[in-house]
Amino acid sequence: MKRMLMSRRQVMASAVGIGAAAITRRSVAAQPFTPSAGLVEAARKEGKMIYYTASFTEVEQEVINAFNKRFPFVRVEMVRASGGQLITRVKTEAAAGKLVADVVDHSDRGLMKALEHLFQDYAPPNASDYLPSALVSPRLWPRLTPGWSIAYNTELVKNPPKTWMDLTKPEYAKGQIGQVIGPSGGTTWTRIMFERQVLAEDYWKRQAATKPALYPSGAPLSDALVRGEVSIAPLIYNAILPKKRDGAPVEIFFPPEGVPIVPYATGIPKTSANPNAARLFLDWSLSPEGQAFTIKDQGNLTSLKEPPFNPEGFDPKVAKVWVPDFKQFVELHDKWLEEWNTVYGYRQ
Amino acid sequence: MVVWLWSALLLAILTFLVIYPTGMLLLGTLTDSNPVTDGYQNMHLSLGNFATVLANPNVHAALGNSLLACTGGTVVAVVIGLAFAWIVVRTNTPWKGFIASAGMLPLFVPPLVAGVAWAILGSPKTGLINTMLARMGIEARVNLYSMAGIIFVFGMYYAPYVYMFTAAALRNMDPSLEEAAEISGAGPVRTLLTITFPLIAPAIISGMLLSFVVMLGIYGIPAVLGAPADIPVLTTYIFALTSWAPPRYSTAAAVAMILMVVTGILVVLQQKVLSGRSFTTVAGKAFRPRSLNLGPWRFLTLGLAFVYLIIVVVLPTLALLVAAFRKFLFIRDFASLFDGKQYGLMHFQRLFANPATVNSIINTMKVGVITALIGGVLAFAIGYTVNRTQAPARRAIDVIATAPVAIPGLVIGVAYLWAWIGLPGGFYGTIWILALAFVARFLPDTIKALSTSLMQIHRELEEAAWICGRGVLSTIVTIMLPLARPGVVAAMTLLFVLAIRELGSSLFLYSSSTMVMAVQLLGYYEGGNISVTAAFSLVQMVILGALIGVAHWLSRGAADGGVGRSG
Amino acid sequence: MSAELGVEHLRKVFATGKPAVDDVSFTVQAGEIVVLLGPSGCGKTTTLRCVAGLEHPTAGAIRIGGEVISAPEQGVLVPPRRRNIGMVFQSYAVWPHMTVRQNVAYPLRHRGMTRAEMDRKVAEALELVDLSSYADRAVVSLSGGQMQRVALARSMVYQPRLLLLDEPLSNLDAQLRLRLRDDLRRIIKRAGLTALYVTHDQTEAVVLGDRIGVMQNGKLLQMAPPDEVYNRPADLFVASFTGASNFVAGRVVERQGEFGTIEAGGGQRLTAWLPAALAPGAAVTIAIRPENIRFGHGDGANRFAAEVLAQRYQGVQTIYELGLFGARIEALEVGTTMRHEVGSRVDVVLPPDSCWAYEAGTAADLAAD
Ligand SMILES: Nc1ncnc2c1ncn2[C@@H]1O[C@H](COP(=O)(O)OP(=O)(O)OP(=O)(O)O)[C@@H](O)[C@H]1O
Ligand SMILES: [Mg+2]
């Protein structure tokens, strides 16, 4: 218990760091990305790259489209798989010496850290602009930093929740709330860590008492919310914002107790056949311009010390971002997930 | 000498396609490491992992659910499939050609699509059926997010398997066998129960077994309908195990082993039941098909057939259409369903804005054709060798070729990945690894489909050709192939359709340049956009429909029996 | 028990148009065996299946034992299972999933019979067809002839009013066919059944039938005892189908009672049996069976001298081709020696009773198998 408290304090400290940065620099505009002519030429010669990602197909297709608007000569072939399958694929291919990926992009920094040896040394030109707390290895970079929000269907919910704690209220019981299962991947693991470390030690128990409907991942849950299968759901902001923009009957808010964020780990394998195209892609993604795109167009946050933007609806004065302590992120994983499964009655 | 070489060749091919990957899977079960990534030298074999899995109550729950869902689904499928076969082949029900073709449509529907369509229709909260019921002032609500829902959808969608086997058998049955019963004083029902069904029992059992085993391996339907109600079955459980972070492959492999054992028992049972029975009914003499004059009752059978078609074809298609063309699938009430402003082409635009969509379609066609050709030839070679020759080791060939029936696609994917990625040559990442995996995976289905038609051809017809001075090869070409042609065409078409829809084994074998439709579809589904998923589902159904139409047209000279072919 | 079968003006038209059975009428007396004989496709099977109820006639009435079982005009159509008839199919149609005993016992089930009675009847039927020792064998392990006998036992075990047989021997080898042919008549007669039997084999028809009905193109041309069919064919087709292979064209000169004088090719005249409808001056075709031409000097009418043009030795008989009436006429002589050299002249007698004149026909009418 004592250790518990300690860790929570550490975590809060780093979270405040990111939040504060967000407040001070919210109006800074993104400078355009200007790669070296040599890199562009080399990438053009390669002409393509293979991109492994655990993010969602549609989200990443937009990223690729934006990248291709700047650099149309690099054809990006995407392989999308869920977190676990992507890791297995990378491991298996690497073991057989056939890892064909030029960029690997994953939400679970812990799993990626364990594969650090597969990746080459790489740092973007603006490396020093990134928060040290978001970095787990000099070879892996937080290309994407999504954050958690709560969304509800405006047609179905007359008295919407306002905080994380509201999700434990009996008035939202009997399957009105949808939840992504704990073991689905790094993003959800981050959120449930937040729930237990920041909100309340027994938050899971109280929330599970409302009998939420469980979904295997955030994407189907966001769709279920729009369709009205569930009325309220904690969701990664980038999974629901595009739907709201398209006119779906949903409202989204960042709860005041905190916004758990999930810095991705992205790197270039040593075996990359198109390292220059990969570099160009990552340099662009990690540049203020690339980050601005994921924030503005997709509703992500960023791990840049000085965010060029804040996503629509995110007010750093109201909601503080929270990033998990990496050591605990790795160490607590198995034990806590097992407990989460028990509390939520999820079979494993 | 030649036969020895031939047997050895077949065994070698089967070893490469079946034994080697299965061995890798077994290794995976008996260790808690991944033999490829962690290296063979670090592997410690033990039964511990397996024992833990066996004792896991969640495994018991998944196994129980699987058996329940598949048993229920098979019962429904057999009832529907048999009724359908009988109506189409043996009665004078009007429009039966159309009924027969339309009744095969569920075969072309990928399970994930079926699941999605029925979720849109039968969700307890937002299902279109419930919206409709509410509109009509009816209190009752349907809930397909349940075991009953899974059984219902399973039964509806896998009835064509039973139909295919039994319709062919019925068609190939000498009608005087039934007439003799009628003359003997038996009424139509008694004739059906004591003569017709027992005579086509091998076909019924084959169809039953096939549909049961196929259901056991289906992921899409229980994933969509079972997940909201927290009903795990073996496939969704295995999939979950492999997609958690970190994935639990050895647990998945162990669960798969359980699945293999269950299926293995079923296969052995089936052979026990069938052994000692010869049901060669195609005599040297051709006979006229016979159809029962149902009188006014034929409109009842027509009605029943239409109800079935509405349930498996019309309703889901409507659901997919609504989903694919509607901006959001939130339907406040019945009236808003007809609000024209809500509809448009945006989901299709989104779908085709992604270059991966078209690539996946092209790749799938390539894989389908390669699979159908290689698989058809290999299955014919094996089926002929096993059923028609005295070649050495033909029992072994038969057993090995049937083994993949017991391995669900998901696990085959892992097994083949482990087995083949280490082989020299740029095999991994090409379209061939997918095609070969499909060939191996569907070998039992193809052989079974072919054997039924091979078995039903009287030996004398073939012997007649030998006597006419033909060699074995020329006999096959001039006699067996033409006679078995409906079977061969049907088997290849079946293989093509199966390959196009196959999701489980593709998941682990595709690469960026060999992405196939099924995987792409799952990507869209997991990406959480039901509408784009529905749009892509429709595209796939149209493509499949067109292909089947072409296949049908190409084989129009062949006798009846092809998939999607009328009675 | 066995009953009389009456068929009146039976017609059956399939969707394809041309009638398969066209205005066929006949009766089969109780206990009689009638054989329908005719070339392939003439409508024998269709007639039989109409009687069985497996085809639905277009028109006409069918009676068994006086009871109307089929009369489409009156809307009467008794289903096959209520007709109480037995049928033996060409393809045997024994049920492969049953033993011999089960096959034979099947029709007895649901007839309100005690087990013992059933066993007795099955045993009797198997006894009748000589298969008692095979009762518990699977039918698939039997030979073709044995299967056929199972089918026969099965169709007789319940003492049907009428037994229908559709080419029951055609799938068997020649020797077996000979043996079973004789057995069949014996068995049917012993059981005292009325039987309608379809075949295209003449010898089978002659041996088996009390009467033979010859069919062509859906029409029944003649129904009579075998010797009448052979000695007084009703028309040119029947004559030719039953083996009268010599045809001589001619013209009626005059009539003497049942017979007439015909002037044939080469101006030669002969006496032949002349149906009543033909008057002097009519063009006729005379049909003569090769067996009925006698060599040597006889007395009475129709003596001719002919040249031997060719000979075909067949072991127990020889066929000679003779130049007569300006045509080639075949004559057959029994015996193992050839007596007439090619080129020699021989005397032949054509008994007037065996020369049948019909209205002149074309070759197409004579097309027989
Ligand atoms: N179900 C049917 N539909 C259409 N035409 C038919 C049908 N059954 C018979 N026919 C036609 O009716 C005619 C008589 O057929 P049927 O079977 O009675 O001949 P058959 O005398 O038994 O000949 P075979 O000796 O070859 O068995 C044939 O021209 C045949 O093509
Ligand atoms: Mg016939």
ipTM of the shown complex: 0.82
What pLDDT, on the 0 to 100 scale, is given for residue B330?
Answer: 72
Q: Is the pTM of this model over 0.90?
A: no
C106 and B277: CB-CB below 8 Å? no
Residue of C21, C24, C40, C42 to mutate, ligand 1, most atoms within 8 A of C-beta? C42
- Taking the CA of residue A304 and the nearest CA in chain B, the distance in Å comes to 26
3-state secondary structure (DSSP) of residue A265: strand
Q: Which atom of ligand 1 is least distant from the CA of C16? A: 4
3-state secondary structure (DSSP) of residue B550: helix
pLDDT-derived band at C321 (thresholds 50, 70, 90) equals very high
* 3-state helix/strand/coil string of B167-221: HHHHHCCCCHHHHHHHHCCCCHHHHHHHHHHHHCHHHHHHHHHHHHHHHHCCCHH
Residue B457 φ then ψ, to 5°:
-90, 125
What pLDDT, on the 0 to 100 scale, is given for residue B220?
Answer: 86
State percent of chain B over pLDDT 70: 83
C-alpha to C-alpha distance for B82 and B61, rounded to whole angstroms: 31
C-alpha to C-alpha distance for B10 and A336, rounded to whole angstroms: 52
Tokens coding B267? 């296969």
How far out from the chain centre does Cα B121 lie? 23
Nearest to C208 by CA among C189, C190, C224: C189
Q: Is the pLDDT of residue B468 over 70?
A: no
B293 touches chain C (CB under 8 A): yes
Report which protein residue has its CA nearest ligand 1's atom 17: C45
Residues in B closer than 8 angstroms to A222, CB to CB, are 528
What pLDDT, on the 0 to 100 scale, is given for residue A24?
Answer: 38
C-alpha to C-alpha distance for B90 and B100, rounded to whole angstroms: 12
Tokens coding B40? 């063979």
C-alpha to C-alpha distance for B238 and B235, rounded to whole angstroms: 5
Each residue of B124-150: b (16+ CB within 10 Å) or e?
bbbbbbbbebeeeeeeeebbbbbbebb
C52 and B281: CB-CB below 8 Å? no
Nearest to A51 by CA among A266, A239, A295: A266
Per the model's pLDDT, the better-predicted residue between B55 and B44 turns out to be B55
Q: Which of B33-47, B109-123, B224-238, B388-402 has the lowest mean pLDDT?
A: B33-47
Q: Is the pLDDT of residue B285 over 80?
A: no
Q: List, in order, residues 6 or more apart from C116 with CB less than 8 Å away.
A: none
A257-271, A317-331, C163-177: which has the highest mean pLDDT?
A257-271
3-state secondary structure (DSSP) of residue C231: helix
Half-sphere exposure of C231 (CA within 13 A, CB side): 7
Nearest to C93 by CA among B185, B177, B200: B177
Indicate the average pLDDT of chain B: 80
pLDDT-derived band at B487 (thresholds 50, 70, 90) equals confident
Q: Is the pLDDT of residue C364 over 50?
A: no
3-state secondary structure (DSSP) of residue C322: strand
When CB atoms are compared, the residue of B354, B511, B526 closest to A100 is: B511
Per the model's pLDDT, the better-predicted residue between B490 and A305 turns out to be A305
Q: Is the pLDDT of residue C332 over 80?
A: yes
Domains of chain C are 5-231 (3.40.50.300), 244-360 (2.40.50.140)
Q: List, in order, residues 6 or more apart from C351 with CB less than 8 Å away.
A: C292, C294, C300, C302
B245 touches chain A (CB under 8 A): yes
A38-42, A236-240, B357-361: which has the highest mean pLDDT?
A38-42
Residues in B closer than 8 angstroms to C79, CB to CB, are 182
Per the model's pLDDT, the better-predicted residue between B410 and A301 turns out to be A301
B508 touches chain A (CB under 8 A): yes
C141 touches chain B (CB under 8 A): no
Residues in A closer than 8 angstroms to B513, CB to CB, are 77
pLDDT-derived band at C16 (thresholds 50, 70, 90) equals confident
Chain C window 150-169: which residues touch B at a Cβ cutoff of 8 Å?
151, 154-155, 158
As to burial, measured by CB atoms within 10 angstroms (0-12 exposed, 13-18 middle, 19+ buried), residue A345 is exposed
What pLDDT, on the 0 to 100 scale, is given for residue B246?
Answer: 61
Q: How many residues does chain B have?
A: 567
pLDDT-derived band at A321 (thresholds 50, 70, 90) equals confident
C-alpha to C-alpha distance for C107 and C113, rounded to whole angstroms: 11
CATH 3.40.190.10 domain position(s) in chain A: 37-145+263-296, 148-260+316-344
A338 touches chain B (CB under 8 A): no
B33 touches chain A (CB under 8 A): no
Going from the C-alpha of A315 to that of each of A145, A161, A295, A309, B193, the distances in angstroms are 16, 18, 13, 11, 74
DSSP state of A208: H
What pLDDT, on the 0 to 100 scale, is given for residue B339?
Answer: 74
Mutation for B interface: A227, A340, A341, most B CBs within 10 A: A227
C90 and B185: CB-CB below 8 Å? no
Handedness of CA B138, B139, B145, B150 (dihedral sign): negative
Tens-place pLDDT, residues B203-223: 888 788 878 888 888 888 998
What's the helix, strand, coil split of chain C in %, to 5? 30, 35, 35
CATH architecture of B48-278: Orthogonal Bundle (1.10)
Q: List, in order, residues 6 or more apart from A132 with CB less than 8 Å away.
A: none
| Structural contact between residues A142 and A222, judged by C-beta atoms closer than 8 angstroms | no
Q: List, in order, residues 6 or more apart from C1 with CB less than 8 Å away.
A: C159, C161, C192
Q: What is the residue extent of each domain of chain B?
A: 1-39+347-562, 48-278
Helix H segments across B15-146? 20-29, 48-55, 57-90, 96-103, 111-122, 128-135
DSSP C242-310: TT--EEEEEEEEEEETTEEEEEEGGG-EEEEE--TT--TT-EEEEEE-GGG-EES---SS-EEEEEEEE
Indicate the average pLDDT of chain A: 85
What's the helix, strand, coil split of chain A in %, to 5? 45, 15, 35
B287 and C155: CB-CB below 8 Å? no
C90 and B278: CB-CB below 8 Å? no
Cβ–Cβ pairs < 8 A, chains B and C: 77
- Taking the CA of residue B519 and the nearest CA in chain A, the distance in Å comes to 9
For chain A, the C-alpha Rg in angstroms (whole number) is: 20
- In DSSP terms, C13 is beta-bridged to C19
Mutation for B interface: A51, A52, A79, most B CBs within 10 A: A79
- CA nearest A334 in B: which residue? B246
Residue A341 φ then ψ, to 5°:
-55, -40
C-alpha to C-alpha distance for A35 and B88, rounded to whole angstroms: 68
C-alpha to C-alpha distance for C74 and C62, rounded to whole angstroms: 12
Counting ligands in written order, the one closest to the CA of C15 is 1
Residue B204 φ then ψ, to 5°:
-65, -45
Tokens coding B34? 């991944």
Residue of C35, C46, C91, C196 to mutate, ligand 1, most atoms within 8 A of C-beta? C46
How far apart are the CA of B187 and the centre of ligand 1, in A?
26
A96 and B428: CB-CB below 8 Å? yes
- In DSSP terms, C256 is beta-bridged to C259
> Dihedral (C-alpha) B470, B471, B473, B474: value to the nearest 10 degrees?
-20
CATH architecture of B1-39+347-562: Orthogonal Bundle (1.10)
B179 and C89: CB-CB below 8 Å? yes
As to burial, measured by CB atoms within 10 angstroms (0-12 exposed, 13-18 middle, 19+ buried), residue B475 is buried
State percent of chain A over pLDDT 70: 91
* Average pLDDT rounded to a whole number, residues C176-205: 89
| Structural contact between residues C135 and C99, judged by C-beta atoms closer than 8 angstroms | yes
Q: Is the pLDDT of residue A313 over 60?
A: yes
What pLDDT, on the 0 to 100 scale, is given for residue A8?
Answer: 41
C-alpha to C-alpha distance for B500 and B540, rounded to whole angstroms: 9
Tens-place pLDDT, residues B111-167: 888 998 998 898 887 788 888 888 788 878 889 999 999 999 999 999 988 888 888
When CB atoms are compared, the residue of C83, C97, C111 closest to B198 is: C97
Tokens coding B566? 């009328």
- Binding-site residues, ligand 1, Cβ < 6 A: B 288; C 14, 16, 20, 38, 40-46, 200
- In DSSP terms, C319 is beta-bridged to C312, C332
Nearest to C305 by CA among C318, C290, C324: C324
First to last CA, chain A: 27
C-alpha to C-alpha distance for B322 and B320, rounded to whole angstroms: 5
* Average pLDDT rounded to a whole number, residues C314-343: 89
Report which protein residue has its CA nearest ligand 1's atom 2: C14
Residues in A closer than 8 angstroms to B353, CB to CB, are 61, 65
Class of domain A148-260+316-344: alpha beta
Residues in B closer than 8 angstroms to C90, CB to CB, are 176, 285
When CB atoms are compared, the residue of B177, B184, B279 closest to C107 is: B184
Tens-place pLDDT, residues A254-300: 999 999 999 999 999 999 999 999 999 999 999 999 999 999 888 89
C81 and B183: CB-CB below 8 Å? yes
Q: Is the pLDDT of residue A77 over 50?
A: yes
Q: Which helix (H) or strand (E) holds A211?
A: none
Residues in B closer than 8 angstroms to C12, CB to CB, are none
C-alpha to C-alpha distance for A57 and B275, rounded to whole angstroms: 51
Residues in C closer than 8 angstroms to B174, CB to CB, are 91, 93
Each residue of B487-506: b (16+ CB within 10 Å) or e?
bbbbbbbbbbbbbbbbbbbb
Helix H segments across B15-56? 20-29, 48-55
What pLDDT, on the 0 to 100 scale, is given for residue B557?
Answer: 47
Query: Which residue has tokens 């082409």?
Result: B345
C-alpha to C-alpha distance for C207 and C186, rounded to whole angstroms: 11
Nearest to A337 by CA among A168, A195, A233, A235: A195
Q: List, in order, residues 6 or more apart from A238 with CB less than 8 Å away.
A: A59, A146, A294, A298, A299, A300
Tokens coding B135? 């509109």
> Dihedral (C-alpha) C255, C260, C261, C265: value to the nearest 10 degrees?
130
- In DSSP terms, A232 is beta-bridged to A152, A177
| Structural contact between residues B415 and B31, judged by C-beta atoms closer than 8 angstroms | no
The CATH classification number of A37-145+263-296 equals: 3.40.190.10
How far apart are the CA of B89 and the centre of ligand 2, in A?
23
Query: Which residue has tokens 């990442």?
Result: B429
A216 and B240: CB-CB below 8 Å? yes
